[in-house]
């Protein structure tokens, strides 16, 4: 008999468990063409979706009507203040839909641009919350203030074109900021300065879209684009598309201008950073 060999036999490489392939490595370069395709598609989809859903909210909230007896006839009327309040609430609802659509769309675009469905889902949820909060806060601040101005100075408000532009720009730029930040989150960016710049790009893009909408709408006075929500479906569609697409472009320009952007590591991703090429 031969003595036992005390040296342990190394395990065969084939017996080890196979490595689990990660969903997407964050150091994988993000193609600029892929980024732009996802962002432009998201901007277009967000504009169309917010318009389709928003059309059902144009007159969703109705002002209360009061019975009044006039010359033996019972009339149901509403006051101007209650009507203005209902108009502002319908507008706020439409703007919330726009902010939510832009946050979801651009968050999804950022995740899909780097090939991560999980990141797209997380960023879409974050964008939804950001869009609702941003547009909700700005609507709550600006719409009642402008409604009070209309009630106090009706003649001046009827001729004023600057204040409606500023109200639209303030609310829609908030939606653009939410969309830009959601895009940065979808791409996995952790640089706070770059995230802030992406939000700023969304703000500027939405502001440009607002100006285009107001100037083009002024050519069609029957559309009454100075109102919170314009009177024709064509101008309402133009507003949503101009704001959503240009906000997406503004945010993407900031992100794509950086040759390398650090990314937050996931459990199945590396922490080296994502590169946009």
**Tell me: the pLDDT tens digits for 77-132?**
566 677 778 888 999 999 999 999 999 999 999 999 988 899 999 999 999 999 99
Decide: 74 and 68 in contact? Cβ < 8 Å: yes
> Other C-beta atoms within 10 Å of 159: how many?
8
Mean pLDDT for the chain?
Answer: 82
Residue 216 lies in a domain: yes
User: What residue has token string 């009454």?
Assistant: 224
**pTM for the whole thing?**
0.79
More confident residue, 219 or 48: 48
Decide: 138 and 176 in contact? Cβ < 8 Å: no
Expressed as residue numbers, the domain containing 42 is: 28-61+79-266
Residue 101 lies in a domain: yes
Into how many domains does the chain fold?
1
Decide: 210 and 168 in contact? Cβ < 8 Å: yes
Residue 162 lies in a domain: yes
Torsion of CA 42, 45, 47, 48, to 10 degrees: 180
Distance, in Å, from the CA atom of 196 to the CA atom of 194, rounded to the nearest integer, reads 5
Distance, in Å, from the CA atom of 226 to the CA atom of 160, rounded to the nearest integer, reads 8
Residue 1 lies in a domain: no
Residue 2 lies in a domain: no
Q: What are phi and psi of 23, to 5 degrees?
A: -65, -45
Per-residue pLDDT reduced to its tens digit, 212-257: 999 998 888 888 888 888 889 999 999 999 999 999 999 999 988 7
Residue 118 lies in a domain: yes
Residue 170 lies in a domain: yes
- Structure tokens that stand for 262 in this block: 């650090």
DSSP state at residue 175: H
Residue 139 lies in a domain: yes
**Range 165-177 average pLDDT:** 95
146, with CB counted inside 10 A (0-12, 13-18, 19+), is: buried
Distance, in Å, from the CA atom of 92 to the CA atom of 245, rounded to the nearest integer, reads 20
Query: Where are the extended beta strands (E) located within the chain?
Result: 66-70, 73-77, 260-261, 274-275
Share of the chain above pLDDT 70, in %: 76
């Amino acid at each position: 008999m031969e003595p036992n060999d005390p040296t342990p036999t190394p395990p065969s490489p084939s017996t080890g468990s196979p490595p689990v392939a990660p969903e997407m490595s964050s150091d994988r370069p993000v193609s600029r063409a892929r980024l732009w395709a996802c962002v432009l598609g998201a901007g277009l989809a967000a504009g169309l979706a917010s318009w389709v859903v928003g059309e059902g909210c144009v007159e969703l909230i109705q002002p209360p009507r009061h019975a009044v007896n006039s010359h033996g006839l019972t009339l149901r009327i509403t006051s101007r203040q209650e009507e203005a309040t209902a108009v502002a609430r319908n507008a706020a609802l439409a703007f919330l839909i726009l902010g939510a659509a832009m946050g979801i769309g651009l968050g999804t675009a950022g995740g899909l641009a780097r090939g991560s469905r999980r990141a797209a889902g997380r960023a879409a949820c974050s964008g939804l919350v950001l869009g609702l909060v941003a547009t909700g806060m700005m609507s709550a601040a600006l719409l009642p203030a402008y409604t009070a101005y209309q009630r106090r100075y009706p003649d001046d408000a009827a001729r004023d074109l600057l204040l409606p532009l500023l109200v639209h720009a303030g609310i829609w730029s908030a939606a653009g900021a939410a969309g830009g930040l959601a895009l940065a989150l979808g791409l996995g960016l952790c640089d706070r300065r770059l995230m802030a710049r992406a939000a700023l790009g969304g703000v500027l893009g939405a502001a440009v879209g607002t100006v285009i909408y107001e100037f083009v709408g002024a050519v069609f006075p029957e559309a009454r684009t100075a109102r919170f929500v314009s009177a024709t479906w064509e101008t309402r569609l133009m507003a949503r598309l101009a704001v959503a697409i240009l906000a997406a472009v503004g945010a993407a320009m900031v992100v794509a201008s950086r040759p390398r952007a650090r990314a937050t590591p996931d459990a199945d991703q590396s922490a080296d950073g994502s590169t946009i090429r």
